[in-house]
Amino acid sequence: MSNCNYPSSLITPAMSKVEELTLSSVLSLFSANGLYTILYSWLFGMSVWITFFGGIIAFKTLPRQQFGNLQHKTFPIYFVLSISIVSSLLVLWTFSHPDVLTYYDRPLVADVSQFYLLISVLMSQGTNYFVIGPMTSKTMFERHRLEKEEGKVYNEPGVSDAMKALNKRFGALHGVSSLFNLWSVIAIAMHGLYIGN
């Protein structure tokens, strides 16, 4: 073996005390920390799946209007779950980190910064649910209606000026919604890195 300068704890595992499971030790798993871990995991996993996998698979698999209808049904549920879970995380975080209330006006205090990070997720997903999402869906359905009236797909040459305006509005709304959602995923990941360390 070559001469290396790694700490011995990285080479040989530390001996730990063997713990036997008892009813008491199993029941102790049901705690605020356990609940926090489950809720955080649910939020992060759901956000990554919806953002990077589920939508892309549906887009590549379904006809465009069916894809739009699926997104119209899926995203409100996703946003409500996100809002509910991050609200629960905020309550649990504040309860278990009293510095948040003491130093709420000092966002560079570590526990307070995490509180504001979670608030940013709540605001992003809330804005998507209450404002951007309904506007995007309304624009999408107007575009579907106009496609039927004109007998042309939205991106065909020679579509009307009304269709071009709807395309522009839909693109802007979808872009803003995507940015808010992407920020949420990044913020949730950053919070995960913090609680993991």
Q: What is the pLDDT of residue 1?
A: 46
Q: Is the pLDDT of residue 11 over 70?
A: no
Rounded CA separation 126/106 (Å): 24
Amino acid letter, residue 34: G
Domain spans in the chain, listed from the N-terminal domain onward: 31-196
Q: Is the pLDDT of residue 135 over 80?
A: yes
The sign of the dihedral angle between the CA atoms of 32, 37, 38, 40 is positive
**For residues 182 and 109, is the Cβ–Cβ distance under 8 A?**
no
Q: Is the pLDDT of residue 141 over 80?
A: yes
pTM for this structure? 0.86
